[in-house]
A and B are shown apart, each in its own frame.
Chain A
Amino acid sequence: MDERFGPDRKVRLLGPVALDSGRTFAPVEIAYETYGALNADASNAVLVCHALTGDQYCASDHPLTGKPGWWARMVGPGKPIDTDRFCVICANVLGSCMGSSGPSSEDPATGQPYGMEFPVITIGDMVRAQELLVTHLGIDRLHAVVGGSMGGMQTLAWAALFPQRVARAVVIASAARHSAQNIAFHEVGRQAIMADPKWRGGAYYAENDPPTAGLSVARMAAHITYLSEAGLTEKFGRRLQDRADKSFGFDADFQVESYLRYQGLSFTGRFDANSYLYITRAMDYFDLADPHEGRLARAFADTATRFCLVSFDSDWLYPTAESRRIVHALNGAGADVSFVELSSPFGHDAFLLDNPELDRVVSGFLGAGA
C-alpha cells in the first residue's frame, strides 16, 4: 500500500515555493485526498481544484461539518469525474486552514502560528505548491486539471505555468482576472474581518476567541454574490421568518436575513479569518494576462493543452463574458478549446449543484481521446 494515496493525507515537502512576491516559502505542508487508483504509467490522474472556501474534502464527508464533500455529486465511482477510471487528487490550497500551510499553521522558525507573518500568496503560488505535490505523487502529466470559480483560476494558472504537465483543463464559472467588482466585494469582506476587535492584527490564535463576527459578515456579503436575484426571490421572496408581522426592529424578520446569518455563522466553525484574508487577496491579484503585456493569448502560446470552459447564464460574479474572453484568447493561440454557457437559475453556485448538462460536458471532455 502506497502511503501517498488515499483519504486524509498530509505531506511536508521541502520546496521551496518561489512566490510571485519575490519571497520563497518552505517547508510546505499540503493536506490532500486521493480517490481511485493511479494506473501503472501514472497517466490517469485528475487534479480537482477547490474554490475560495472549499477544501480537499471534495468527495468524502467533511471532518468538521459531517456534510458530504463539496463535489460529491461530481467525483466518485461512475460519476462525471469517474474514480473507477481516474485517480482524483484534491489538495487544500496554500494559505488555507484545513491542513495545508496557512496563517494558522505553526511557523517552524518561531513555534507560533504565522498569523500575518504568512507571506502574501497568489493563485500561481497555490499552483506551484500543488505542482510539488503532483511531483511527490510520481505524476509527470495530469490527464486533467478541473476547477470551478477559484479552482478554475488555478486550472488556468496550471495550464499557463506548466503546460507540459496538463493534458486537459476544465474551467467552470471562472475568469482569467479578477474584475474591479470582484475586488470590491472581497475588500468589504476583509474590512469586516479587520474591523472586528477580536481580529487583533491577525494574532488571535492564542486567545481561542477568533473574529467570528467579522468573518461571518464577510461570508454573508460573499454569499450574496454566489446567488442570483431570481434564485433568491424564488427561495425567499420577502417572506417573514417565524413571525406574522414585521418587528419594526433589527431582528432577522425576513427569511433571507436568517438564511444569510446562518450561512455566515456556520462558516466560522470551519474557516479561519486570516485564511479568508489571504485567499481573497490571492484572487484579487489574479490576472493571467498581466505578465504578458495584457495579451491573454500569450499566456497560452503554443499550448498543447485541450481546454473546456463552462459558464452559467445567471452567474454575475464570473459572467459568461469573462469565459468568452478566455475562449477568444485560446482561439488566438490556436488552442483546442470547447466552451458552453449553460442555463441555471442558481447564479455562480450553479457549478456545485446538480446540472445534467454540466455532467455530460465534463465526462465527455475527460473521456474523449483518453
Chain B
Amino acid sequence: MSALRPDLAIIARHIEPGARVLDIGCGSGDLMATLRAEKQVDARGLEIDAAMVSAAVGRGLPVVQGDAGHDLANYPSGSFGYAVLSQALQTMDRPADVLEQLLRIGGKAFVSFPNFAHWRVRANLALRGRMPVNRALPESWHETPNIHHLTIADFRSLAGERKMRIERSWYLTGGEQRADWLANLLAEQAVFLLSR
C-alpha cells in the first residue's frame, strides 16, 4: 500500500476488495482514497474538522462532517462491513459507547490507538513525574485532544467486559510491526479487529 500511516496500512491490507467501509475520523481521506483506488472499496467518511472535510470532498471522497460522539447513532445498523476508528478512541467522551456503535454499524471494527503503557511513557511518569510527550503522543497534557488514555491491557479488558471478540491484533513501534511478546510494555501503538 502507498505511503499510508502504518496503522492505516495494516487496516487497508486486511479489508477485502469491494467491502463497504465507514472511516470515522477519516481526516482528509487518505485511507478512503487508498481503499477506493486499490480495492474498489465503497468507503464513506465521518470527520469533525471542516477543513479536513473540505479537503476530502475536494478530492472526490464522500465525507460527512460530524461528531462520532453523537452522530454515529444516525447510521443504520449493519450498513457497513467495517467501521474504522483510527487514533481517535482516546479522544472520545464515551469510548465504550463508541465501540458499541462501531459494531452496531459495521459487522467488524478496526480500532487503533496509542498505547499509554509503553515503557517510555511509564519511565517518564515513574522517573520524571511528567506526562509523556513522544511520537505517539505528541502534544503536552494541556493541549492534547486525548481525554481517555488507555493501554493495550485496558482495551482487552474493556472488550471482554462488553463481550466484543478480538479477532486479530497488531502492534507497532516506530512505525514497524512487532511481535506480540510484551506488547503492552513495548508497543507504541496497537490495531485491533473487533467483532461480536
Contact = CB atoms under 8 A, between A and B. Distances in A.
B54 A360 contact: yes
A367 B53 CA distance: 16
B115 to A, nearest CB: 33
Contacts, number: 66
Interface in A333-367: 334, 336-343, 357, 360-361, 363-365, 367
A361 B60 contact: no
Contacts of B59: 364, 368
Query: Chain A contact residues (Cβ within 8 angstroms of B): what range?
Result: 20 to 34
Nearest to B45: A338
Contact of A332 (B54, B56, B63, B74): B74
Given A327-B64, A334-B79, A340 B74 contact: no
Interface string B37-67: 0000000100000110111111111111110
B62 A340 contact: no
A364 B64 contact: no
A47 interface: no
Contact of B64 (A334, A338, A357, A365): A338
A306 B63 CA distance: 11
A338 B50 contact: no
A345 B166 CA distance: 47
A22 interface: no
A327 B76 CA distance: 13
A291 interface: no
Interface of A: 306, 308, 324, 327-328, 331-332, 334, 336-343, 357, 360-361, 363-365, 367-369
Given A332-B74, A368-B59, 18 more contacts: A327-B66, A331-B75, A331-B79, A337-B64, A338-B53, A338-B57, A338-B61, A338-B63, A339-B53, A339-B63, A340-B53, A340-B54, A340-B57, A357-B50, A361-B58, A363-B58, A364-B60, A368-B61
